[in-house]
Amino acid sequence: MIVRPVQITDLSALFTLVRQASPGLTSLPADEERLAYRIRWAQRTFAGQVDRADADYLFVLEDDEQQVVGVSALTGGIGLREPWYNYRVGLTVSACADLGIQRQIPTLFLSNELTGQSEVCSLYLRPDQRLGSNGRLLSLGRLLFVAEFTQLFGNRLIAELRGSTDERGGSPFWDSLGRHFFKMDFSHADHLSGLGNKSFIAELMPRQPLYTCLLTEQAQAVIGKPHPNTEPALKILSAEGFAHNGHIDIFDGGPVIEAPVSGIRTVCDSRPLQLAIGSPDANDPLWLIHNRRLENCRITCVPARLAGSSLVVDRLTAKRLQLQPGDSVRAVPLLNQRHQAAAA
Amino acid sequence: MLVLRPVELADLPRLQKLARESLVGVTSLPDDSERLREKILDSCASFEKDVEGHGPENYFFVLEDPATQHLVGCSEILATAGYGEPFYSLRNRHFTSASRELNIEHGVPALSLCHDLSGHTLLRGFHIDAARVRTAHSELLSRARLLFIVAHPGRFSATVITEIVGYSSDDGHSPFWDAVGKHFFDLPYVEAERLCGLQSRTFLAELMPQYPIYVPMLPQAAQDCIGSIHPDGQEAFDILEREGFETNSYIDLFDGGPTLHARTSGIRSIAHSQCGLTQPGPVNDARGSYLVSNESLKDYRAIVADLDYIAGQPVTLDAAMCTALKVTEGSPVRLIAL
């Protein structure tokens, strides 16, 4: 398995993949024309031809038969072209000592605080490939890429996790809040949002803070609660140091998780090593390895053996990374070593 | 014959009895003897005071049956709402949600805390014995305040407002309070109203929602309360509406009840009341019912009377009327058709 930049030749394979995913992947609409546009844009991004504000790093996961089985993305900087909105869940205290009243009321503040940060998004892995380390490779590969090219990204990485829905697939948060200002149902708003109209929609929202006690109980209950489908993604990113810091999506109330780039496990623990060819055995730990290239970026995950400042991999891996022995790689153990130690 | 007059300290015990029966939400009438005593003294001082403009004065009137000395009602005029402490209301205005790109534009009503009604003269504390609701005497109790205002225009503002008690259930629950106030005050509606009557309302300031409350986000029962009137407040509303008062975009913070307002000079009893000089004598051919008041300040009196009155002519009043109004031959009186 290899993570690499998307190519225009991936269009039909990607289209098939995305069609399987929708609905549920609003940032990758199953629209061939839009997809082609996004692929071309990603190619220009990897070629270093666009500003950080517009950068869209779209990766695919390719199996050993060159089949595209997954997709994930990374943006350069959010909110630098049009405003990026979140709610920050703050607090209002209503207190009167004389009367013994002390009420703490969580309050939603419309915020552009995450402007300029980079977002990991648009991850989808074909269901039959959700095994082994594929999910981690597809997700963490992006973080290793950031580690190599920190100057291309913001100080923090964020991920917006889909919010909780009710049994009909509706969003209690939307029904209690956004609906009143848009007069449209959640799926329509979500669709517009996926088409890139997110800031237009946000402009319909009230600027003033909102007391959560005035939302329905169902809506209050889902503030900052991720959809169960996002649990695998949440688990992987949490282990990397991502945490919910009080920001939520303005539409469905789902949590935004974030981490300072310098505090992300894959970034901190990764280091440059020399590639060596050998025959690591299956008991050697899995390593996430990046060939340190931008346009011809290749990232993989294989068993490897650390020998001094060399990382020993098999010949096929070197070939897939498009590298020769002695070339530099950036690598990090796939799993947190402390966790591995604990497991052993 | 019932007479409306300024309250006196001697009225305290009877007034407290009245307070006990008054509707929750008539917050200016607390069932607390110390507080009521202060209110009475404050009113007495207001009637005594020489003023150059309208200030913190509160004029408290009672409706008495002189024969039995029973008090059957009371009403007040606060010369200036929000004089010493802020006067809060919720302003109900539309927040416009617009996006040219999405071709969407619509208004969402939102309630915002404001002091907009500060500075106006406030009619309040209207309470009448249940047996006299919707009689000429409830008209007297409410409208004699307007005759007082026209007799002493320098003491009042150019705009008069009043808050009408909003809907609450028989067991004392206000759906509006439960959906809005309760979150911030952590008190039952009745308790909140009681506290407001008892002490300064400034404590509210610290507890108020400072950000707008969007109406569609409220439960339907609470939305229905916006501008709705408690059945027992309907008469107070109807009397003043006939006087030319209109509802506006302001509602009460606690129960969502409506606010009425009017230009002072345009209020019917003020614009159309007439003055005449007293002519004591028997009323032989009463052709109409009137509210009649004298023009005094601290000896202010008003009654309901059937008179044979012709505009521009002296006003014939019988002995009982003259006594009730504390007028003698030649005293100016003011009257308006009931």
Q: Are B212 and A206 in contact (CB under 8 A)?
A: yes
Q: Tell me, yes or no, whether A290 lies in a domain.
A: yes
Q: Which of B104, B183, B212 sits opposite A213 (nearest CB)?
A: B183
Q: Which of B104, B108, B218 sits opposite A214 (nearest CB)?
A: B218
Contacts for A25 with CB less than 8 Å, ≥ 6 apart = A18, A122, A124
- The residues of B assigned a catalytic role are 230
Contacts for B170 with CB less than 8 Å, ≥ 6 apart = none
For residue B204, give the chain A residue with the closest CA: A96
pLDDT of residue B26: 60
- Give yes or no: residues A211 and A90 share one domain: yes
pLDDT of residue A339: 55
Q: Are B270 and B325 in contact (CB under 8 A)?
A: no
β-bridge mates for residue A237, sequence order? none
Specify the range with the lowest mean pLDDT, choosing from A247-256, B78-87, B92-101, B188-197. B188-197
Contacts for A220 with CB less than 8 Å, ≥ 6 apart = A212, A213
Q: Tell me, yes or no, whether A60 lies in a domain.
A: no
- Give yes or no: residues A327 and A262 share one domain: no
- Please give the CATH number for the structural domain made up of B274-337: 2.40.40.20
- Give yes or no: residues A88 and A188 share one domain: yes
Q: Which two tokens stand for residue B189?
A: 């509606």
Specify the range with the lowest mean pLDDT, choosing from A207-216, A274-283, B24-33, B183-192. B24-33
- Give yes or no: residues A95 and A240 share one domain: yes
Q: Are B192 and B181 in contact (CB under 8 A)?
A: yes
- Give yes or no: residues A251 and A241 share one domain: yes
Contacts 24+ apart (CB under 8 A), A23-27: A23/A187, A24/A162, A24/A229, A25/A122, A25/A124, A26/A190, A26/A191, A26/A193, A26/A194, A27/A73, A27/A121, A27/A122, A27/A194
Residue B109 has pLDDT above 50, yes or no: yes
Is B191 at the interface with chain A, CB within 8 A? no
* Structural domain count of chain A: 2
Q: Tell me, yes or no, whether A73 lies in a domain.
A: no
What's the distance, Cα to Cα, between the start and end of chain A in Å? 26
Domain interval for residue A247: 81-115+156-269
As a whole number of angstroms, the distance between CA A217 and CA A209 comes to 18
Q: What is the pLDDT of residues B44-62, one digit of tens each?
A: 999 999 998 899 999 999 9
Give pLDDT < 70 ranges for chain A: 22-26, 194-199, 337-344
**Of the candidates A269, A291, A310, which is a domain's last residue?**
A269
- Give yes or no: residues A259 and A277 share one domain: no
Q: Tell me, yes or no, whether A68 lies in a domain.
A: no
Do residue B95 and residue A206 have CB atoms under 8 angstroms apart? yes
The DSSP-derived string for A181-195 is: HH-S-HHHHHHHIII
- Tell me, what CATH number does A327's domain have? 2.40.40.20
Query: In the predicted model, what is the mean pLDDT of residues B278-303?
Result: 94
- Give yes or no: residues A264 and A277 share one domain: no
Residue positions counted in chain A = 344
- Give yes or no: residues A180 and A259 share one domain: yes
- Chain A residues near residue B183 by CB distance under 8 angstroms: 94, 103, 105, 211, 213-214
Q: Are A251 and A172 in contact (CB under 8 A)?
A: no
Q: Tell me, yes or no, whether A55 lies in a domain.
A: no
As a whole number of angstroms, the distance between CA A315 and CA A302 comes to 12
Q: Are B156 and B80 in contact (CB under 8 A)?
A: no
**Of the candidates A204, A239, A269, which is a domain's last residue?**
A269
- Please give the CATH number for the structural domain made up of B3-90+113-269: 3.40.630.30
pLDDT of residue A22: 65
Query: In the predicted model, what is the mean pLDDT of residues B6-32?
Result: 80
- Give yes or no: residues A314 and A195 share one domain: no
Query: In the predicted model, what is the mean pLDDT of residues B96-106?
Result: 78
- Give yes or no: residues A107 and A179 share one domain: yes
Q: What is the pLDDT of residues B212-259, one digit of tens each?
A: 999 999 999 999 999 999 998 999 999 999 999 999 999 998 899 999
- Give yes or no: residues A103 and A236 share one domain: yes
Q: Where in chain B is the domain with CATH 3.40.630.30?
A: 3-90+113-269
Q: DSSP alpha helices (H): ranges in chain A? A: 11-21, 32-46, 134-148, 172-176, 178-182, 186-192, 198-202, 217-222, 231-239, 265-269, 315-320, 337-343
Residue B23 has pLDDT above 80, yes or no: no
- Rounded to the nearest 5 degrees, what angle is found at the Cα of B11, between the Cα atoms of B9 and B16? 110
- Give yes or no: residues A165 and A300 share one domain: no
Radius of gyration of chain A (CA): 22
Q: Tell me, yes or no, whether A172 lies in a domain.
A: yes
A294: left (phi over 0), alpha (psi -120 to 50) or beta: alpha
Burial of A281 (0-12, 13-18, 19+ CB in 10 A): exposed
Pairing assessment for the beta strands B121-128 and B159-163 based on DSSP bridges: parallel
Interface ipTM: 0.80
Tell me the nearest-neighbour CA distance from B104 into chain A, angstroms.
Answer: 8
Q: Are A248 and A256 in contact (CB under 8 A)?
A: yes
Q: Tell me, yes or no, whether A100 lies in a domain.
A: yes
Q: Where in chain B is the domain with CATH 2.40.40.20?
A: 274-337
Q: Tell me, yes or no, whether A124 lies in a domain.
A: no
